[in-house]
Amino acid sequence: MSQQAILATQIFSAIGGHTSQKHRIRPLYGQIRAVRRLNVSYRHPSGRKLRVCAVSYLNTVPLVWGMLHGGEQGLFELEFALPSECADRLEAGAADIGIVPIAELRRLNLSVIPGACIASRGAVRSILLVSKVPLVEIRTLAADTSSRTSVQLARILLEDVYNVRPLLIPFPPNLHAMLEAADAALIIGDPALRVDIDHSPYLIVDLGAEWTAATGLPMVFAVWGARAGCLPNGIEKPFLASCRFGLEHIDEIAEREAAPRGLTPDAVRNYFRDNVTLELGEAEKRGLDLFLRRLVGLVKLNR
């Protein structure tokens, strides 16, 4: 087995996968309530607060809602960046914990904080492949590279399902300009949510739906990852508590976050109700395992 494959297996085992000894996520509701009562402080070994880098897209807002407005407020130094920038800040030591594209886990050798994630069990709506031509005819792909998992997912699906290997052209997330420069465009995050998929003249493929159709499994896009030495005992508790606080306040999130992102409150509610999964269950772990194994070339998708 290659070194990359071994590392992929180790990553999956660390979050409770089934490639080695089974580690199940136990219910944490009682412990989460204790965090809110005691305001436990989780700190770096040096004594300072842990630096947490979160993604600036809508899909991360519920994950950090408790850190912004709930019982976890003030526990961490919180900042926001694009997904790829979060990974870069972790690599540089400028952040201790961050939302990490799963395609970066093996490269950065991060520990996964179990429980919360960004995933879908079908259409994700915020990761779209928009094409001027049939998928089997795509030769050039303009890609917003701010999420490295999404770029790898597009590459895997096009290669395994449609037998095409387009030239990748890094591009800012401007759909019109992207489609002038290439046969197809990969657009992600909030810009993808603003695409009118019902009235577009182009072929639009939701990559979350495409992955689930090809595998029968959820697609996990990102998890909380931590650098070595930045995993105090019980660190998963405030992250789960913050996420669940956010899920309890989706209506408030929709009202506050929609307009600044060029969306309607109903679109935000529908996104969190119908598209995004924020807790890492057993099915999500299996989907994550398959993606990691495909990423290092251990398997290919069949359809």
pLDDT tens per residue across all 303 residues of the chain: 554 444 444 444 445 554 433 333 333 333 333 344 434 567 777 778 999 999 989 999 999 999 999 999 999 999 999 887 888 999 999 999 999 989 888 888 899 999 999 999 999 999 999 999 999 999 999 998 777 889 999 999 999 999 999 999 999 999 999 999 999 999 999 999 999 999 999 999 999 999 999 999 999 999 999 998 888 888 999 999 999 999 999 999 999 999 999 999 999 999 999 999 999 999 999 999 999 999 988 678 875
Distances (CA, A) of 151 to 102, 148, 172, 215: 11, 5, 13, 18
**R_g (Cα) of the chain, nearest Å:** 19
22 shares its domain with 158? no
| Domain end marker among 215, 249, 269 | 215
Contact (CB, 8 A) for 270 and 263: no
Task: Determine, yes or no, domain membership for 81.
Answer: yes
Task: Determine, yes or no, domain membership for 303.
Answer: no
Give the pLDDT of residue 58: 96
Give the pLDDT of residue 22: 32
CATH code of the domain containing 207? 3.40.190.10
Q: Give the predicted TM-score (pTM) of the model.
A: 0.84
Q: How far is the C-alpha of 158 from the C-alpha of 184, rounded, in Å?
A: 12
Give the pLDDT of residue 118: 96
Give the pLDDT of residue 147: 74
Cβ neighbors of 238 (< 8 A, separation 6 or more) are 35, 40, 42, 66, 67, 72, 75, 76
140 shares its domain with 51? no
| Domain end marker among 155, 184, 215 | 215
Contact (CB, 8 A) for 139 and 163: no
199 shares its domain with 282? no
Give the pLDDT of residue 72: 95
Listing DSSP states for the chain in one string gives: --HHHHHHHHHHHHTT-SSSS--PPPP-HHHHHHHHHHT---B-TTSSBPEEEEESSGGGHHHHHHHHHSTTTTSSEEEEE-HHHHHHHHHHTS-SEEEEEGGGHHHHTPEEEEEEEEEESS--SSEEEEESS-GGG--EEEE-TT-HHHHHHHHHHHHHHH---PEEEE--S-HHHHHHHSSEEEEEHHHHHTS-TTS-SSEEEEHHHHHHHHHSS-EEEEEEEE-TT---TTTHHHHHHHHHHHHTTHHHHHHHHTGGGT--HHHHHHHHHHT-EEE--HHHHHHHHHHHHHHTTS-----
Task: Determine, yes or no, domain membership for 259.
Answer: yes
Task: Determine, yes or no, domain membership for 302.
Answer: no
Contact (CB, 8 A) for 16 and 23: yes
Which structural domain, as residue segments, surrounds residue 204?
127-215
How many domains are contained in the chain? 2
Give the pLDDT of residue 274: 96
Contact (CB, 8 A) for 135 and 160: no
Give the pLDDT of residue 84: 79
Give the pLDDT of residue 16: 54
